[in-house]
Amino acid sequence: MEHLFKSWQTFSADCRAASHILLLSDYDGTLTPIVGRPRDAVLSQEVRDKLSALAKKSDFSVGIISGRSLAELRYMAAIEGIYYAGNHGLEIEGPALDYISPDAELGQAMIKDLAGQLAAALENITGVIVEDKALSLSVHYRLVREEEQDAVAVIFKRVISPLADAGKIKITTGKMVFEVRPPIDWDKGKAVASIRREIMSLLKLEEVLTVYLGDDTTDEDAFKALHRPEGWSIYVGEENSSSRAEFFLNSVTEVDELLSRLLELR
Ligand SMILES: [Mg+2]
């Protein structure tokens, strides 16, 4: 794993040579710092303006892919003319794309019911946030006192076990969050591929250079789907040898700098 700015010559040369660039990014921890309450992860106006300016360039497409629901992601980012993939890509919306996984849609009642059960079972633990995202759900425990965090895991496991054991749901974990998703073979890597395909067919392109930025375990599926020269995977955070990304940037601040550099590039 190498710092992206150390490889800037190669990266910028690839970018200049590409006929079109697709810039895809995770939201939390990548475009905004990680915060205790999901609603507090506000996108800075500078980052919003830069993403918006990139999206307006004819040879750029921009998208944000998140575990959040699409509606909330769109509300938080508030940028026109970009792709949004919510629930890790189970729902995707963009300039020429409007997709929701039919299988995931069928599981909504079960997710809602499970969110209710989890909220009730965890109600005595201060700081837990159970988030029903319609197609999936999250249990955030960043605000829970350290000595109670194990209890969150135990209760979570107890409540979800019957459905998980029956193969009706899939469990993933992230930074201080447990997630429940429908058991569909779909992830951020597949979401990246489908947005890429969409842009290639829309713009009648043979190839697009895809850049993906992310900071968490669910981003690994996107990282491992990308290979140079047409795919650049960038982990955001301190150098992490367990990540599949080929490059890294240290922080959200460096991501902001990358956006500035991309704006100057073309
Ligand atoms: Mg993230």
Q: What is the pLDDT of residue 198?
A: 93
**Comma-separated ranges of CATH 3.30.70.1020 domains in the chain:** 104-181
Q: So what's the architecture of 2-101+186-265 in CATH?
A: 3-Layer(aba) Sandwich (3.40)
Q: What backbone torsions phi and psi does residue 181 show, to the nearest 5 degrees? A: -130, 160
- Residue 141 CA to residue 91 CA, distance in Å, equals 25
How confident is the model over 56-79, as a mean pLDDT?
96
Q: What is the pLDDT of residue 95?
A: 86
Residue 151 Cα to ligand 1 midpoint, Å, equals 24
Residue with tokens 């009730």: 120
Q: What backbone torsions phi and psi does residue 44 show, to the nearest 5 degrees? A: -70, 150
Q: What is the pLDDT of residue 236?
A: 98
**Comma-separated ranges of CATH 3.40.50.1000 domains in the chain:** 2-101+186-265
Residue 31 Cα to ligand 1 midpoint, Å, equals 8
Residue 172 Cα to ligand 1 midpoint, Å, equals 13
How confident is the model over 22-50, as a mean pLDDT?
96
Residue 115 Cα to ligand 1 midpoint, Å, equals 21
Q: Is the pLDDT of residue 36 over 90?
A: no
DSSP-derived secondary structure for 154-206: HHHHHHHHHHHHTTS-EEEEETTEEEEE-S-S--HHHHHHHHHHHHHHHTT-S
The CATH homologous superfamily of the domain defined by 104-181: Trehalose-6-phosphate phosphatase related protein; domain 2 (3.30.70.1020)
Residue 219 Cα to ligand 1 midpoint, Å, equals 8
How confident is the model over 77-93, as a mean pLDDT?
96
Residue 206 Cα to ligand 1 midpoint, Å, equals 30
pLDDT, one tens digit per residue, over 164-195 is 999 999 999 999 999 999 999 999 999 999 99
Residue 252 Cα to ligand 1 midpoint, Å, equals 11
Q: What is the pLDDT of residue 45?
A: 98
| % the chain with pLDDT above 90 | 93
pLDDT, one tens digit per residue, over 237-263 is 999 999 999 999 999 999 999 999 999
Q: What is the pLDDT of residue 80?
A: 95
Q: By three-state DSSP, how is residue 8 classified?
A: helix
Residue 86 Cα to ligand 1 midpoint, Å, equals 12
Residue 204 Cα to ligand 1 midpoint, Å, equals 31
